[in-house]
């Protein structure tokens, strides 16, 4: 049995062990997947110990994705650009770092929701780690334009500058969104976690707009409630992204692509 885990702080409520156990069952892979807690500042100690115990891989959640980025001996391009690692693979004495969050988001939108990103006007709200983690895979889908809106404009501008080589990005403040509409609007701020709403002006949603919150929750987040009240065409939370990023990690580790739809539905029922 090959050992894997998800590391974070807090970690008790992580759904990753459930998701990977379902993938293992469905694909017949013989793995064990546990939760690992680390005190702040103790990431390396805990991971070194896990590796010494023969672990094959690790998922990383808040607040350790930067620690994992620094821990990795080798990085994929998307992890390097994200400056964050959510998937480590231990092989031949080395730690390989990748970031599957962006692919998870893109697959959920383009495949599960059947909402192609190519040629669409995409608006992403926020300019923190959650945004940095998904920009390269989003831009690879060739949206006609990608707009980053943030309260602190300079952070959005820094991202637009850094990721400009991957595609057309503009940075704006929220007030500059007035009078504009978008095809896909992604909330990647941490506002939903405090039951709050980014200061988006009215009128940015249309009846064809997909409103996507990277946070998942039982009911509608404040962002999705606003989108609904403005008659956005489609609403989605981040549960599908969570399962898709896990599926991509599983594929990296085991070489098999697990089916996700049934697992997402199961998880949705469990959380209800
Ligand atoms: P994460 O890793 O989740 O992205 P982060 O790096 O702390 O976390 O970034 C949080 C993001 O959410 C930032 O873009 C923040 O905006 P500012 O940079 O202007 O602070 C955004 N954010 C948090 N709460 C928000 C709110 N209530 N309204 C709008 N944006 C919010």
**Nearest-angstrom CA–CA distance, 60 and 227:** 31
**Nearest-angstrom CA–CA distance, 169 and 192:** 24
**Nearest-angstrom CA–CA distance, 50 and 253:** 16
Is any atom of ligand 1 closer than 6 Å to the C-beta of 61? no
Cis peptide before 244 (omega within 30 of 0): no
By the 8 A CB rule, do 75 and 85 touch?
yes
Q: Which two tokens stand for residue 196?
A: 């709050």
Closest CA to 198 of 158, 135, 151: 151
Q: Given this model, what pLDDT does residue 6 score?
A: 98
Look up the pTM and report it: 0.96
Is any atom of ligand 1 closer than 6 Å to the C-beta of 152? yes
Co-location of 156 and 221 in the same domain: yes
- Tens-level pLDDT at each residue, the chain (272 residues): 999 999 999 999 999 999 999 999 999 999 999 999 999 999 999 999 999 999 999 999 999 999 999 999 999 999 999 999 999 999 999 999 999 999 999 999 999 999 999 999 999 999 999 999 999 999 999 999 999 999 999 999 999 999 999 999 999 999 999 999 999 999 999 998 888 999 999 999 999 999 999 999 889 999 999 999 999 999 999 999 999 999 999 999 999 999 999 999 999 999 88
ipTM: 0.97
Using the mean position of ligand 1's atoms as its centre, give its distance from the Cα of residue 23 in Å: 32
CATH of the domain at 225: 3.40.50.720
Closest CA to 6 of 65, 91, 80: 65
Strand order in the sheet with 2-8: 31-37, 2-8, 57-60, 87-91, 94-98, 74-75
Is any atom of ligand 1 closer than 6 Å to the C-beta of 86? no
Co-location of 115 and 144 in the same domain: yes
Number of domains in the chain: 2
Co-location of 110 and 202 in the same domain: yes
Residues spanned by the domain of 75: 2-99+240-271
> What count of Cα atoms within 13 Å lies in the side-chain half-sphere of residue 150?
22
Q: What angle do CA 13, 15, 18 make, to 5 degrees?
A: 125
Strands (E), 131-269: 145-149, 169-172, 184-187, 210-213, 234-236
Using the mean position of ligand 1's atoms as its centre, give its distance from the Cα of residue 30 in Å: 39
Q: Given this model, what pLDDT does residue 224 score?
A: 97
Co-location of 220 and 117 in the same domain: yes
CATH of the domain at 67: 3.40.50.10860
Co-location of 127 and 189 in the same domain: yes
Going by alpha carbons, the residue nearest to atom 9 of ligand 1 is 128
**Nearest-angstrom CA–CA distance, 227 and 210:** 9
Is any atom of ligand 1 closer than 6 Å to the C-beta of 121? no
**Nearest-angstrom CA–CA distance, 86 and 74:** 13
Ligand 1 pocket, mutate which of 101, 128, 160, 195 (most atoms under 8 A from CB)? 128
Q: Which atom of ligand 1 is nearest to the CA of 132?
A: 4
**Nearest-angstrom CA–CA distance, 155 and 257:** 36
| Residue 65 is among the residues annotated as catalytic for this protein | yes
Co-location of 185 and 266 in the same domain: no
Location of structure tokens 């939760």: 35
Strands (E), the chain: 2-8, 31-37, 57-60, 74-75, 87-91, 94-98, 121-125, 145-149, 169-172, 184-187, 210-213, 234-236
């Amino acid at each position: 049995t090959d050992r894997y885990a998800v590391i974070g702080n807090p970690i008790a409520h992580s759904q990753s062990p459930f998701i990977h156990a379902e993938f293992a069952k469905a694909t017949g892979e013989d793995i064990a997947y546990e939760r690992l807690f680390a005190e702040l500042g103790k990431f390396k100690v805990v991971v070194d110990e896990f590796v010494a115990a023969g672990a094959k891989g690790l998922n990383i959640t808040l607040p350790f994705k930067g620690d994992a980025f620094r821990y990795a001996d080798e990085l994929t391009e998307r992890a390097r650009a994200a400056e964050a690692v959510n998937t480590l693979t231990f092989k031949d004495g080395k730690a390989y770092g990748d970031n599957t969050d962006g692919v998870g988001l893109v697959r959920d939108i383009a495949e599960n929701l059947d909402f192609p990103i190519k040629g669409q006007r995409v608006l992403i709200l926020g300019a923190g780690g959650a945004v940095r983690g998904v920009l390269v895979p989003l831009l690879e889908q060739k949206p006609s334009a990608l707009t980053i809106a943030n309260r602190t404009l300079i952070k959005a501008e820094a991202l637009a500058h850094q990721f400009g080589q991957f595609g057309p990005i503009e940075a704006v403040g929220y007030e500059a969104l007035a009078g504009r509409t978008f095809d896909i609007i992604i909330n990647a701020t941490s506002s939903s976690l405090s039951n709050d709403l980014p200061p988006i002006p009215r009128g940015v949603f249309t009846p064809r707009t997909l409103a996507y919150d990277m946070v998942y929750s039982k009911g509608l987040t404040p962002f999705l409630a606003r989108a609904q009240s403005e008659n956005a065409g489609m609403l989605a939370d981040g549960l599908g992204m969570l399962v898709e990023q896990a599926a991509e990690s599983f594929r990296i580790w085991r070489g098999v692509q697990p089916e996700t739809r049934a697992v997402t539905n199961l998880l949705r029922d469990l959380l209800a």
